[in-house]
Amino acid sequence: MDTLGLGIMELLGKSLGAGSYFREFFEGHDSILRHNWYPRCQTPHLTLGTGPHTDSVSIAILHQDDVGGLQVQIDNEWFNVSPYPGSFVVNIGETFMALTNGKYKIPLHRAVVNNEKARCSIVFFMNPQADKIIKPPGELVDDEINPRKFPDFTWGALHEFIQKEYRADHNTIHCFFERQQQQKKLKNTSTSSQ
Ligand SMILES: O=C(O)CCC(=O)C(=O)O
Ligand SMILES: [Fe+2]
């Protein structure tokens, strides 16, 4: 997974004219493997296996079995991401969106269940080291057409925010920056009143 993840980073960097920036950024990455198991469900229209969310990680490399259930939202409609033998689905997450200065977008996705067959998926979530500053390469930023879309942050701080305060969706990163601003203001007020 290490070789595959870094290889994908190399390709993503090349796709944006940023050379090996992303691959080098993710050397020594801090990643997680998750196994999802969705049992058969007698009332699949009443529930979801995994509700709508985005992956806040950098990229998620997902392998699903042959049952099907992964869906992605495009223009407010849900579309099946059908299993294709021997393939992976690669999802972009918030951290990578910020690293590309918003060039790569984050897909809202979910998993539905069915009443015939249990399903499983395995996801490799590739994250940078927790304290590494997330900052796009110079090639993707300029003052006039491509100003910075997101301030500097660390994956460690975003991860803590998601775990403790907010489930990942399209608003996560904005809520995270708002919270960081509030915390900065509070800190400044308490130091100036000392
Ligand atoms: O099981 C799936 O196909 C989706 C799983 C997923 O989106 C996740 O674990 O973040
Ligand atoms: Fe996901």
In a domain, 9, yes or no: no
At residue 82, the pLDDT reads: 97
pLDDT tens by residue, 107-125: 999 999 999 999 999 999 9
Name the residue of 34, 35, 50 to mutate for ligand 1: max ligand atoms within 8 A of Cβ.
Answer: 50
Q: Whole-angstrom Cα distance, residue 146 to residue 151? A: 14
Contact present, 50 and 71 (Cβ < 8 Å): no
At residue 126, the pLDDT reads: 96
Q: How many domains does the chain have?
A: 1
CA 105 from chain centre, in angstroms, equals: 10
Contact present, 34 and 91 (Cβ < 8 Å): no
Question: The domain that contains 148 carries what CATH number?
Answer: 2.60.120.330
In a domain, 12, yes or no: no
In a domain, 15, yes or no: no
At residue 101, the pLDDT reads: 97
Task: Report the 10 Å Cβ neighbour count for 66.
Answer: 10
- Domain of 41, in residue numbers: 30-127+134-192
Q: Could you tell me the distance, in angstroms and rounded to a whole number, from the CA of residue 172 to the centre of ligand 2?
A: 14
Q: Could you tell me the distance, in angstroms and rounded to a whole number, from the CA of residue 189 to the centre of ligand 2?
A: 38
* Residues with C-beta less than 6 Å from any ligand 1 atom: 34, 36, 50, 55, 62, 64, 69-70, 109, 111, 121, 123
At residue 185, the pLDDT reads: 87
φ and ψ of 59, to 5 deg: -135, 150
At residue 194, the pLDDT reads: 67
Q: Whole-angstrom Cα distance, residue 162 to residue 145? A: 31
In a domain, 152, yes or no: yes
Q: Whole-angstrom Cα distance, residue 70 to residue 67? A: 10
Q: Whole-angstrom Cα distance, residue 21 to residue 35? A: 30
CA dihedral 174→178→181→186, nearest 10 degrees, is -160
Residues with pLDDT less than 50, the chain: none
Average pLDDT taken over every residue of the chain: 94
In a domain, 19, yes or no: no
